[in-house]
Structure 1
Amino acid sequence: MKSHDRLRIVFAEARQNWRAFAYVMQVHENHYTKRAGVAGIRARAQRLTLGPKSLQAKKLTFIFQLELSAKK
């Protein structure tokens, strides 16, 4: 169920003004945040360290290799 479904808005004036708030609600409901630089590396590394222990070292090494090759 969409919590902010434009077709379920009852009042006519609110229906007309719905488009103005559509982008705000989209941003509000979207919890994913892209991060660049060191914060992005840490966020990706933290997410991967929560996985299976056998894959952690391989995944982290791969990410840091990608980051280093992108900086060159």
Structure 2
Amino acid sequence: MVQKLREHGPVGPAFWRFGRDHRQPQPLLDAIGDAYLARRQVAREEQRRRAEREAAQREARRPACADCGKKLTDAR
């Protein structure tokens, strides 16, 4: 692998996928496979949903104006 890295660099075909019958080197992102990228996307989506849920909880806890009943904002 070190020789392949020297020849082709880190984005060249220097990595092998585990569990494959053939030993043809591939670029790193191809060797990692789509499963890794899919897991990262799922993790980002979970983080986005968690941030939305926390924002909704903060909004629900905001005090309201005693006169008009409107929720107070960060500016007010």
TM over 0.5: no
Give the TM-score taking structure 2 as reference length. Answer: 0.30
* Bigger helix fraction: 1
Structure with max Cα Rg: 2
